[in-house]
Amino acid sequence: MAFGARLMAAMRDRGPLCVGIDPHPELLERWGLPDTPASLVAFADAILDASVDSAAAVKPNSAFYERHGSRGIAALEYTLGRAREMGLLTILDVKRGDIGSTMQGYADAYLAKGAPLEADSITVSPFLGVGSLRPAFELAEHTGKGVFILALTSNPEGASVQHAKGPDGHVADVIARAAGALNEGKEPMGSVGLVVGATVGTAIAELGIDLEAVNGPLLVPGVGAQGGTPADVARVFGNVRHRVLVSQSRGVLQAGPIVEELRGAIRAASGAAQYSLARTNVDE
C-alpha cells in the first residue's frame, strides 16, 4: 500500500496528530535525563509507547541524534525500527536536498527497503529546485514511501524565499504545483506531501496556492508551543482539512517523562485537533 493511503487510514483510525521526537538538551534535562545516546533511546521509547493509540505518525528529528555521532545514529536506527514493529508510521525530519548522485544517496539512506535508517517518509528541501529531488520521488514511488516537501514553513524567515516570485510564479506555489503533478490521480491521496505551517495566515490565498490540487498530505507544524491552535488549522486549510496532519513536539512532550501522563497529553492533543476540524465542517 502506498504511503498516502496508509497515512490516510492511520489519520482516520488514530486522529490527525504527528508527535515529534525531539530530544534536545533542554527537554532531556526537563525529563531528568542526561544528554547521552542512551537517553535518546529512553526518551523515544516513552514517546512511542504513549503515541501508539492516539497518533497517526511520529517524527524523529535527525539533528538531535546526529549531534551524538555514531551512537546517536544507532539510537535513531533503533527508534525507527521499533516504531515500524509497533505499526507507527514515521516521518524522519531530515530536510535533505541536493542534486544528482548525492540526492540519490540520501534517498537510498532513508527510503530504500531494508536500509538501516529506513523510514516511512522524510522531509526534503526543494530550494535547489524541485526537480533536484527526483531521486527521492522515484524511490519513494517504488518502495511505497512518502516525501514531504518544505513549502510554507512556520518560521518567519521562510517568507523571504517562499513568497518570492519568479518567472513561473511564487516559489511556494511552484512547489505545490509540482507536488500536485506527482500526486495526480492517486487515491485516496498521493504520497508527496507539503510542509505548511499553521501560522502562515492568509499566505496560501495571497500566493494563489491551490492546496486541493496538491492531492497529498499536509504536514502542519506550528501548533502548540509556536502559537498556532487547532482552530487556526481549520481556518487556514479550509476544504483540505481532511488531509492535514498536525505536528506537535514541545507542546505535548513537556508532559513527560511519565508515560501515562505523556499518553494523556497526546490523546488530548489528538482529540483537540480532530474535534476542531470536525466542528468546523459542521458549522460550514
Catalytic residue numbers? 95
Contact predicate 81/50, CB 8 Å: no
Contact predicate 152/191, CB 8 Å: no
Query: d(Cα 284, Cα 121) in Å, to the nearest integer?
Result: 33
Query: d(Cα 88, Cα 36) in Å, to the nearest integer?
Result: 25
244-248 and 89-96 strand pairing: unpaired
Query: d(Cα 193, Cα 178) in Å, to the nearest integer?
Result: 10
Distances in Å between the Cα of 219 and the Cα atoms of 34, 68, 90, 244 are 31, 27, 12, 6
The C-alpha cell at 262 is 505523556
